[in-house]
Chain A
């Protein structure tokens, strides 16, 4: 039995090719994945991400609970509406999930977690929350639409109630606020995303999602499927849970060290394991690869280095670059000439610093 978002019939009426994505019947494209990718890089596109899980936390000790639960420091959030990206680790330091947490009040935080990890995340969070007397409430009645691209914010702003526009226009990156959409529908507008472009992720009550989607289409926003979302986030250097990291991987090995806050005296779950691995030396590193020849780098392909074998995590043709790029996890140390085994052929690749694309343009050296 696959789940459907409230926009399912809308996708089908637009001619979307639907696929099973972590138990959800979702659009992979509406015709051309590459055209949808370019629409987001050059103008504005939107994704139905209603399959993602919204979890609200309420309680006087919510902040204290999040200090314990998350590897990033919740105390970086000092202003209402601000958001933080963090990993949630197990005691061994493995990544249970990555998520965004919003600070909505001293006793109210909102988490957005991955769809594919919903059940285990909820079970984990609930078990950890008990000791802090924090109420964990899933919000399945919400839909979510990500509007992304250089013109995305302008197009969304035009649909908001006049009184809200100046405030939402001034909304900083990684911050969220409430606003009224078409016909006064209540929106939660966050300046976040998963494409490397500016834009908003909008949480909307499910019953208003179709009207909002149609208003966005009328405003010139291109519907884009999860296929384009994947190539956009890869170009932007963003990890995908389950492919780039999971419970067998510590954040150090997934280029997520920047999200780890080893602040004085904070005993978050997984901290001991993280510090032990750091002290002992991290055995594997995550790197960016570019294939200048023809062909496509893909998940699971073997990577050959001077220090032994690694493997491709996320890999794809990158439409903005017109060549294939990938993340790979390889043994630490000077890797020498790196090659990838593509169907039995050893193809040389270049090791690069990523992101591969920023602000719609290839990064230097890519």
Chain B
């Protein structure tokens, strides 16, 4: 498994959030999650301009094996989606923490970020799951 970048925050359901320099929050799924799902074949992206709510479904990723809801780590407005995933969902398998990001949110309540797990806590969670 690839190293978990220290600047990411996580939901227990394996979504990551990265606060960009401009204050927007980029969202994806962890490398652990993509490994569990297997080869991704389809991503249902949210609409730009739509509102997402922390802890509720905002996107769907489908692997050969299963469909999985992607929860928004923070509430806010979707300002950009990763259109490349429409044709190449496998980017998430190849680079879950980087090029495989899913959507970008303008957060409405930055305090929600404090509710998320940090990289160390998330790593511990994943290790526990594996045993």
Identify the A interface with B (CB < 8 A).
17, 28-29, 32-34, 227, 231, 294-296, 298, 316-317, 319, 343
- Contact with A295, one of B62, B65, B93 (Cβ below 8 angstroms): B62
Number of B residues with CB within 8 Å of any CB on chain A: 14
Contact call A28/B38, Cβ cutoff below 8 A: yes
Contact call A33/B39, Cβ cutoff below 8 A: yes
Inter-chain CB contacts under 8 Å: number: 40
Contact call B42/A34, Cβ cutoff below 8 A: no
Chain B residue at smallest Cβ distance from A36:
B39
B81-99 interface bits toward A, Cβ cutoff 8 Å, 1 = contact, 0 = none: 0000010000001000000
- Contact with A227, one of B42, B60, B65 (Cβ below 8 angstroms): B65
Contact call A317/B60, Cβ cutoff below 8 A: no
In the complex, which residues of chain B have a beta carbon less than 8 angstroms from the beta carbon of A32? 38-39, 93
- Contact with B39, one of A34, A294, A298, A343 (Cβ below 8 angstroms): A34
- A193 to B93: give the CA distance in the assembly, Å: 30
In the complex, which residues of chain A have a beta carbon less than 8 angstroms from the beta carbon of B66? 298
Give 6 A-B pairs besides A227-B38, A295-B44, A296-B41 with Cβ atoms closer than 8 angstroms: A28-B65, A32-B93, A33-B38, A33-B39, A227-B64, A317-B64
* CB of A343, distance to nearest CB on chain B (Å): 7
Contact call B38/A17, Cβ cutoff below 8 A: yes
Beyond A295-B62, A296-B62, A343-B60, whether A317 also contacts B67 by CB under 8 A is no
Identify the B interface with A (CB < 8 A).
35, 38-39, 41-42, 44, 60, 62, 64-67, 86, 93
In the complex, which residues of chain A have a beta carbon less than 8 angstroms from the beta carbon of B86? 294
Count chain B CB atoms within 10 A of each CB in A29, A294, A298 and give the residue with the most: A294
Chain B residue at smallest Cβ distance from A294:
B42
* CB of B125, distance to nearest CB on chain A (Å): 19
7 tightest Cβ-Cβ pairs between the two chains A and B: A317-B41, A34-B39, A296-B62, A317-B64, A33-B39, A33-B64, A33-B38
Contact call B62/A317, Cβ cutoff below 8 A: yes
In the complex, which residues of chain A have a beta carbon less than 8 angstroms from the beta carbon of B44? 294-295
* CB of A62, distance to nearest CB on chain B (Å): 41
In the complex, which residues of chain B have a beta carbon less than 8 angstroms from the beta carbon of A34? 39, 41, 64
- A343 to B44: give the CA distance in the assembly, Å: 11
- A227 to B66: give the CA distance in the assembly, Å: 11
- A231 to B39: give the CA distance in the assembly, Å: 12
In the complex, which residues of chain B have a beta carbon less than 8 angstroms from the beta carbon of A17? 35, 38
Chain B residue at smallest Cβ distance from A32:
B39
* CB of A307, distance to nearest CB on chain B (Å): 27
Contact call B35/A317, Cβ cutoff below 8 A: no
Chain B residue at smallest Cβ distance from A19:
B65
In the complex, which residues of chain A have a beta carbon less than 8 angstroms from the beta carbon of B67? 296, 298, 343
- A133 to B86: give the CA distance in the assembly, Å: 62
* CB of A284, distance to nearest CB on chain B (Å): 26
